[in-house]
Amino acid sequence: MGGDYQMADLSGNQVYPREFSVNKTFQNFLPNADLNYKFTQTKNLRFNYRTSTNAPSITQLQNVYDITNPLFISSGNPELKQEYSNNLSLRYNSTNVAKSVNFFGGLFATFTQNNITNSTFIANRDTTLAEGVLLTRGSQYSRPVNLQGYRSMRAFMNLGLPIQSIKSNLNLNGGVNYTRTPGLINQVSNISNNYAFNAGTVLSSNISENLDFSVSYNGSYNIVRYSIQPQQNSNYFSHTARFRLNWISRKGFTVNPDVTNTLYKGLGAGYDRSFTLVNLGVGQKILKDQRGEIRLTIFDLLKQNNSISRNITASYVEDNRTLVLSRYFMLTFTYNLRNFRGSNASKN
């Protein structure tokens, strides 16, 4: 148990489009506590409490209008305060050494005071902001503000055990996340509640140095609810399934397929899709003791690679699709420097 005193100075100067100076000093006391209890040598429970701060950025403090996009105008707020978070965690770990079984479970929570979020004004008619900035009907003006009520909670567990019959290890995991984010729309409180349910498994082998594989799956179901924007509510599902194999023959021929299937469902038109990314590498070990390797790798063999993400904010849901590099080939040569002068191994 203890604590720290923190003082942070934030300063900046702006000369265009008008002169503006920022000088802020933040002072906080940051307590912390740890409690560790051992039931046995292989079972223990640990409680942790930490506090942390997050200062607003210079951009968030500058009271200047960004009119790059006239439909989404934004500005800073020189009156912003520093965020102050209370972080709690409870972890339990149990290991059965004889059976090589391990269990981990955890509860995590964060409560934030003066959460930096956005106050959004949606114009129902043409409106003139300060300094003559025009906000046309239907467009938005966003400004950062401090609000109370942000919290995030998470529960997570993982079970690991061996599968002796196939010389592999199996890991099972699952979790539940909840995030509450406050916001303002036309000066009315708008609360975003995001629930996420996750489950996954990983099967990885330890058969030999020449044969290794892993199979994994992770699925996530999300529920998003807004207090005053029911049209933004959504339920969506995503999953990732992956298979990897590394095989080396006695004569040094190598094969390394890597296949990943990604699915998005419930995001909406243009974003609901399933695609499979296939990477394939083939190579040949060469030179003395097979220290060298020539390898040809094909990335995105099926030309299906995509990058899709969803961002949940206090006032809206945003879907993004990013342009990614499609199929390409790479030829590489690798040489393994196993021995160094002065080592106990034989010198070559």
pLDDT, one tens digit per residue, over 29-73 is 999 999 999 999 999 999 999 999 999 988 898 888 888 898 999
The answer to whether residue 345 is domain-embedded is no
The answer to whether residue 192 is domain-embedded is yes
> Cα dist. 169→42, 43, 49 in Å?
20, 21, 33
The answer to whether residue 254 is domain-embedded is yes
**Higher pLDDT pick, 166 / 53:** 53
Nearest to 54 by CA among 170, 188, 140, 144: 144
pLDDT of 314: 67
- Opening angle at CA 265, ends 263 and 270, nearest 5: 95
> What's the mean per-residue pLDDT of the chain?
90
**Higher pLDDT pick, 276 / 313:** 276
- Counted domains in the chain: 1
The answer to whether residue 172 is domain-embedded is yes
Distance CA 319, CA 72 (A): 16
pTM for the full predicted model: 0.83
The answer to whether residue 61 is domain-embedded is yes
> Cα dist. 36→39, 41, 93, 242 in Å?
10, 12, 11, 37
Helix (H, G, I), strand (E, B) or coil at 213: strand
- Would you tell me how many other CB atoms lie within 10 Å of the CB of residue 115? 23
Residue 284: pLDDT above 70? yes
The answer to whether residue 203 is domain-embedded is yes
pLDDT of 39: 95
* Sequence letter at residue 218: N
Residue 341: pLDDT above 60? no
The answer to whether residue 346 is domain-embedded is no
Name which of 17-21, 179-183, 205-209, 304-308 the model is least confident about.
17-21
Under the banding of pLDDT at 50, 70 and 90, the label for residue 20 is confident
Residues 6+ apart with CB under 8 A from 93: 43, 44, 46, 102, 103, 104
pLDDT of 343: 47
> Cα dist. 29→5, 7, 83, 338, 347 in Å?
5, 9, 13, 52, 59
Cβ distance 296 to 279 under 8 Å? no
- Would you tell me how many other CB atoms lie within 10 Å of the CB of residue 33? 13
Name which of 55-69, 201-215, 310-324 the model is least confident about.
310-324
- Quick one: average pLDDT of 322-341? 82
Q: Which residues in 15-132 belong to E strands, given as ranges?
A: 20-40, 43-54, 72-74, 83-96, 101-113, 115-122, 127-128
Residue 19: pLDDT above 80? no
Range of the domain at 213: 2-335
Under the banding of pLDDT at 50, 70 and 90, the label for residue 291 is confident
Assigned token pair, 162: 């061996």
Q: The CATH number of the domain where 331 resides is what?
A: 2.40.170
Cβ distance 73 to 139 under 8 Å? yes
**Higher pLDDT pick, 3 / 198:** 198
Quick: pLDDT tens for 219-255: 999 999 999 988 889 999 999 999 999 999 989 999 9
The answer to whether residue 205 is domain-embedded is yes
The pLDDT > 70 percentage for the chain reads 95
Helix (H, G, I), strand (E, B) or coil at 22: strand
Under the banding of pLDDT at 50, 70 and 90, the label for residue 347 is very low
Quick: pLDDT tens for 92-123: 999 999 999 999 999 999 999 999 999 999 99
> Cα dist. 338→289, 291, 342, 343, 348 in Å?
10, 8, 12, 10, 10
